[in-house]
Amino acid sequence: MLYIGLTAKPVWDTQSHSNRWEWISNVENNWETIRDEALAVVNNPGHPHKTILQSVAEGGLWKSFQLVDEGQWREETVALCPKTTQIMQGVPLLTGCSLGYCYISSIAPQTVITSHYGVSNVKLRCHLPLVLPNTNDLGMKIGSEGVRWELGKCLVFDDSYLHNVWHLGDPEDGPRIVLLFDIWHPDLTTSEIEAVKYVLN
């Protein structure tokens, strides 16, 4: 779904128009709390997860632990991450819309997520880095822009641009873990958001 007239850029500067990004400071200030709950889930093989196969090159491993799946909170995972859930309820997530996700994303060493597009420009995607391996062979490209993550700092980008991710570190480097979540494009008004929900649902 392409919504004409929205500001288009691969990576967003959250320092400008700070009123648009009021929620970010609370998320970033609590990143260690989110990390601790994420690690408890990721490190327990009995907890529910999805293995994402789309766009993952052969030999790689990308796991997700869903908090919001197609716009709906997942009770099973929410119960495991109550503090994270409370923090994220202050974020303009795409809840009630089938395009919306919020999940713990874990990428193992020797994983390449090949170039792919998101499904719509009505949303922006955010990464909150929780665990970053100590390797230079880790990164992301969005459109023509190469980006690197910073622990506890939100990266906001438009995933309707072509993008890819790689973690080519050694096995002992461990996984890259981020909290990945979708927010409404900040240009959209409340009435426009409701109209988009109506069309998509």
pLDDT of res. 17: 63
pLDDT of res. 53: 77
Distance between CA atoms of residues 159 and 153, nearest Å: 18
Map out the domains of the chain with their CATH numbers.
21-200 (2.60.120.330)
Quick one: what percent of the chain has pLDDT higher than 90?
79
Residues 56, 114: contact at Cβ < 8 Å?
yes
Range 29-53 average pLDDT: 90
pTM: predicted TM-score of the whole model, two decimal places = 0.94
Report which of residues 97 and 39 the model is more confident about: 39
Residues 177, 104: contact at Cβ < 8 Å?
yes
Query: Which token pair is 79?
Result: 């119960």
Using one digit for the tens of pLDDT, what is the confidence trace for 143-199?
A: 999 999 999 999 999 999 999 999 999 999 999 999 999 999 999 999 999 999 988
- Whether pLDDT at 35 is above 70: yes
- For 10-19, 21-30, 56-65, which range has the lowest pLDDT when averaged over its residues? 10-19
Using one digit for the tens of pLDDT, what is the confidence trace for 113-142?
A: 999 999 999 999 999 999 999 999 999 999
Rounded (5°) CA angle 4-6-8: 110
pLDDT of res. 51: 84
Give residue for tokens 């089938």. Answer: 98
